[in-house]
Amino acid sequence: MLDTTNPHNYSYITKELEIHILGGIKFTNLERMRVTLSIQKPNNHNVLRHSIDLYNDNTIERLVRKVAERIEIGTSIVRQCLQELTAALEQYRIDQLAKENEANQIQLKVLSTKEQQAAETFLKSKDLLKNTNELIGKSGVIGEETNRLLMYLIFTSRKTSNPLHCISLGSSGVGKTHLQSKVAELIPDEDKVEITVLSANAFYYFNRTELQHKLILIEDLDGAESVLYPLRELQSKKRITKTVVHKDKKGTTKTIHLTVEGPVSVAGCTTQESIYEDNSNRSFLLYIDESSQQDKKIMHYQRLLSAGKVNNDDEFIAARFLRDVQRILQPIKVINPYAEYLELPESVFKPRRTNSHYLQFIEAVTFYCQYQRPKKYDEQTGEEYIETTIEDIQQANELIKETLLRKSDEITGVCRNYLEELKKYLHQNTQTTFTALEIRRRLKVKKTTQWRYHQQLQDNYYIKKQRKKKGETIIRYEITNPNEYKELEQQISKALQECITNIDRSTVPECSTTKTEQATKTKRAS
């Protein structure tokens, strides 16, 4: 029998021979079995050591004769013993590789009838998005009510043909990665790939369909700069291809194509919005809540957690239930019959891509509500689909309003946060002017960071320097239009409401015509 108890010295002992495999065997390069053998008779000190490929028949024959001559034993015995050893090692390697694959393979959960019914009942419930948001909160996500539901729906879109992507933005230490990881816990393990650091070519060596409809989570975009290009291609073209040189078994050099298919949903975190502009253009930008109210919520939760007053079982049950909900969502085509009436505000930058994101997000809301939508069939192809309702559009508008507002802003998110805090401070203190030092102390901003903010705000004419009075050495600033952000917000809200109004107008004539036809038919019948 083959004894593999010692991984560095296997033993194979028969009545005639005692063989040791020094250093064990390799589990790569399955086309060969290179080993170092120590061969001797039992209880005999005459030992022969030899390195050999057990799959090479010519070298095996030479070793058989050498062993027979050195140890003084018949060649047929040595040959049979080596053949049996080779078969035993081969089977052992196959078994170990199978165990390793099984250990690395994510176990797919099969829902029981009761679990499936509970998930279906939930997806058919009234106020589904509101109930989902409450469950996300119960799973341990503190605050961030809009961002967490947006992120959850974006992650859900991985199952559609046009997945959405998101980037969480905020200062260091505000909880970007925590929010992403907590919401990602609500997605089944088999549907996500978590990445900390990845080499430049790593994406090309996934199996062709290994990433299809997967959620790719990047903890920090700064640690994945080398893969941002193939990631962008996966987002846009839904596939990536790389041509490499490869030598076949005969040594002939050939070019082969490595192709990885999408689509995928990508989520990442960063503190640097401008650096990753190409990626942010393809994604929803979720700005983390850095307000004092959010700080209080998080610190209160941390204190309860430290005091042992947080029920971890309830959090686990809520997260597990939402994972079950994700599992029963089925791929289905979504058609938005009202898409032609949906127009974005003119203030939105890069309207072509943003318009596409807006329509896709509405489809993602419809997709999540699929158990509440009647299934329809294309008359020509017979393809099954569901249709978007006005309620889906209204819910999507409420969630996406902040995102569109940020997309319409001329300044970066962190600079906007600084400006809004500055406005709040001036309003509370009934001031119209301020000094850099005064605001730096109040808002606890570094001098170099404030200088960058002020440079950006002056370039876009959000603030301006006041003329110095005689004898005054300190530079004072003032805000050019304190209400500009509220005006922009009102403009976007109005544009979104007009979309709903246009849809309502378009459906009224159809309804009135139908009623007129029914009245005419009734008169004729009477």
pLDDT tens-digit profile of 281-299? 788 888 888 888 888 888 9
Q: How far, in whole angstroms, is CA 393 from its chain's centroid? A: 24
- Residues (pLDDT < 50) of the chain are 509-526
Determine the Cα angle at 78 with ends 75 and 80, to 5°.
105
Residues 6+ apart with CB under 8 A from 327: 109, 111, 119, 188
Quick one: which of 328, 287, 315, 289 has its CA closest to 156?
Answer: 328
C-alpha distance from residue 172 to each of 116, 178, 270, 414, 422 (Å): 41, 12, 9, 11, 20
113: its two tokens: 């009838």
Q: How far apart are CA 183 and CA 368, in angstroms?
A: 16
3-state secondary structure of 288: coil
pLDDT digits (tens, 9 = 90+) for 361-382: 999 999 999 999 999 998 888 8
Q: What are phi and psi of 140, to 5 degrees?
A: 115, 5
Give the domain ranges of the chain: 2-104, 113-331, 335-408+486-526, 413-482
Query: Which tokens sit at 249?
Result: 């078994």
Q: What does the buried/exposed string (b/e) look like for 301-318 if buried means 16 or more CB atoms within 10 Å of the residue's CB? A: eeeeeeeeeeeeeebeeb
- Asked if 78 and 12 touch (Cβ cutoff 8 Å), the reply is no
pLDDT at 470: 66
pLDDT value of position 521: 44
Domain 113-331 adopts which CATH fold?
Answer: Rossmann fold (3.40.50)
Domain 413-482 has CATH 1.10.10.10: yes
Predicted local distance difference test score (pLDDT) of residue 386: 93
- Note the pLDDT of residue 273: 67
